Amino acid sequence: MDILSYSAVELAAAIKEGKVTATEAMEAVLARIDEKEKDINAYVTIDREAVLKAAKAAQEKINAGELTGPLAGVPVAIKDNMCTEGMLTTCSSKILGNFIPTFSAEAVINLEKAGAVIIGKTNMDEFAMGSTTETSAYGVTRNPWNTEHVPGGSSGGSAAAVAAGECFFALGSDTGGSIRQPASFCGVVGLKPTYGTVSRYGLVAYGSSLDQIGPLTKDVTDCAVVMEVIATQDAKDSTSVKREDTDFTSALVADVKGMKIGIPRDYFGEGLDAEVKDAVLAAAKALEEKGAVVEEFDLSLVEYAIPTYYTIAAAEASSNLERFDGIKYGYRTENFEGLHNMYKKTRSEGFGAEVKRRIMLGSFVLSSGYYDAYYLKALKVKAMIKKAFDEAFAKYDLILGPVAPTTAPKLGESLSDPLKMYLGDIYTISVNLAGLPGISVPCGKDSKGLPIGLQFIADSFQEKKLIQAAYTYEKIRGDFKIEN
């Protein structure tokens, strides 16, 4: 069997059984990267020599019985906004073009403890601001299903790497849909956990109250296994939550009998592509046939989620990105006159257009005289949106809808009109505002052959329901792979 056709869990089992070594797995991945990267550009940084050494070391530990974790020897790709000690971490920005962290993100450390071997860092929209991975300072990433199209974003590099077999699984981060939407565009599984489930320590912050790290995997089983590894309470992250129910693999049960699934009418109205709509509703029908109770309902407030999100995320980002000033790390402009000119030139040259756009918007909505009208108003609407979900989850175990209004757009189509790009986040964004978990699972292809994703949303801390429903659906659907 071709090593690359293994899922992460299958590979770990094969390594454990001695059928494959970690080094062979890494070599296979590197060979695939050699073959694909010129078309895809999923990675920003790969240190081949170090990576092969790490794989060899992992295999030795496995042989010695020292490394027995569930992901022992499995190559993983990490989104480039997670700190990796001694490995370039750029956030796909020029301003961090030379930044080498002195510590690793907690989620990365947890993966390493479980035996995973880091291949490299994946491309993304600069500082996770974007939905297409076109705002990267290091070139666009292309969709492995059709390289004329974007992979989605901001975790586009991670999603593309998984889809193209350039890794066995990847970590992404999701502030407004940045795991689920690229997963959907690239035909892989992506889960955004409940806020506070995965430590944010070492994740370079975009919108701190919305950011969560999560897995991008080939299937739901891998997703559950990776979640068990990365979901830990961390004393270094004050917003990290203590959970007792992180045995996510126990939810890998193909059964939705009696599960109540709500379909928000507001998610199926104007703007939703007909093919996407049909595919998602067909999936709902299939679940219903397996015994789920599916009904339509009105979620309300859906059209307010995007303005709320962009106010809050931009405000937090404007503050979070103040630390990039040319003093402590990263890019510093060559020529300047005095301190403030150094700040301005460094930041203007170091940040791309989309990042600047959001920093300016965020600075404005927090500025004197506008705070109440914009920022505080958005925090109040956020409370209302959370309440609307609370009411929905009083009635339903899960909400089912599309991930994005369309399949992956063509390269260059989205950037010309930022507002239009923002509208593409409509089904994913409110999940972040309410701190909820959501999963994206492939549910078909459109007439152009591009993947379509469906999204399950659960109440806070109910990832197991997501996993169970997604796993059941996956069994109904059958294999979903690119024909290479």
Partner 1 sequence: MAKQYETVIGLEVHVELATKTKIFCGCSTAFGGAPNTHTCPVCTGMPGSLPVLNKQVVNYAVAVGLATNCDITQYCKFDRKNYFYPDNPQNYQISQLYLPICRNGHVDIETSEGKKSVGIHEIHMEEDAGKLIHDEWEDCSLVDYNRSGVPLIEIVSEPDMRSAEEVIAYLEKLRMIVQYLGASDCKLNEGSMRADVNLSVREVGATEFGTRTEMKNLNSFRAITHAIEGERERQIDLLESGQQVIQETRRWDDAKEYSYAMRSKEDAQDYRYFPDPDLVPVYISDEWLAQIKASQPEFREEKMARYKAEYDIPEYDIGIITDSKHMADLFEETVAICNQPKKVSNWLMGETLRLLKEKNMDPEDIIFSPENLAKLIGLADSKAINSSVAKEVFEVMFDENIDPEKYVEENGLKTVNDEGALRKTIEEIIAANPQSVEDYHNGKEKAIGFLVGQTMKAMKGKADPGMVNQILKELL
Partner 2 sequence: MANIITDETIDYVGILAKLELSDEEKEQAKKDMGSMLDYIDKLGELDTTGIEPMSHVFPVQNVFREDVVTNGDESEKTLKNAPGEKDNMFMVPKTFD
Q: Which of 132, 318, 414, 455 binds partner 2 (CB under 8 A)?
A: 318
How far apart are the C-alpha atoms of 24 and 413, rounded to whole Å?
A: 40
Q: Identify residues 195-224 at the interface with partner 2 (CB under 8 A).
A: 195-196, 209
Q: How buried is residue 1: exposed, middle or buried, by Cβ count under 10 Å (0-12/13-18/19+)?
A: exposed
The residue among 41 and 199 lying less far from partner 2, judged by its C-beta, is: 199
According to the binding rule CB under 8 A, does residue 11 interact with partner 1? Answer: no
Helix axes 8-16, 220-230, angle to 10 degrees: 80
Q: Which of 59, 89, 173, 181 binds partner 1 (CB under 8 A)?
A: 89
According to the binding rule CB under 8 A, does residue 331 interact with partner 1? Answer: no
Residue 406's binding partner out of partner 2, partner 1, none, with CB under 5 to 8 Å set by partner kind: none
- Candidate ranges 76-84, 109-117, 282-290, 349-357; the one touching partner 2 (CB under 8 A): 349-357
User: Can you spell out the DSSP letters for 382-417?
Assistant: HHHHHHHHHHHHHH-SEEEEESSSSSPPBTTSSTT-
According to the binding rule CB under 8 A, does residue 368 interact with partner 1? Answer: yes
CB count within 10 Å of CB 435 equals 21
Q: Give Cα separations from 8 to 215, 273, 350, 390 (angstroms).
A: 12, 33, 37, 35
According to the binding rule CB under 8 A, does residue 339 interact with partner 1? Answer: yes
How far apart are the C-alpha atoms of 471 and 433, rounded to whole Å?
A: 26
* 108: enclosing H helix or E strand: helix 106-113
CB 347 within 8 A of CB 119: no
Size of the site for partner 2 (CB under 8 A): 67
Q: Is 199 a catalytic residue?
A: no
How far apart are the C-alpha atoms of 160 and 384, rounded to whole Å?
A: 35
The residue among 351 and 393 lying less far from partner 2, judged by its C-beta, is: 351
According to the binding rule CB under 8 A, does residue 111 interact with partner 1? Answer: no
Q: Which of 1, 64, 235, 394 binds partner 1 (CB under 8 A)?
A: 235
According to the binding rule CB under 8 A, does residue 94 interact with partner 2? Answer: no
Helix (DSSP H) and strand (DSSP E) numbers for the chain: 15, 11
Q: Is 414 a catalytic residue?
A: no
Q: Is 236 a catalytic residue?
A: no
According to the binding rule CB under 8 A, does residue 96 interact with partner 1? Answer: yes
Q: Under the rule (CB under 8 A), what is the footprint of partner 2?
A: 98-100, 102, 195-196, 209, 235, 238-239, 241, 301, 303-304, 306-308, 310-311, 318, 322, 325-332, 336, 338-340, 342-345, 347-348, 351, 353, 356-357, 359-361, 363-365, 367, 374, 376-384, 386, 418-419, 433-435, 460
**Active site amino acids:** 79, 154, 178
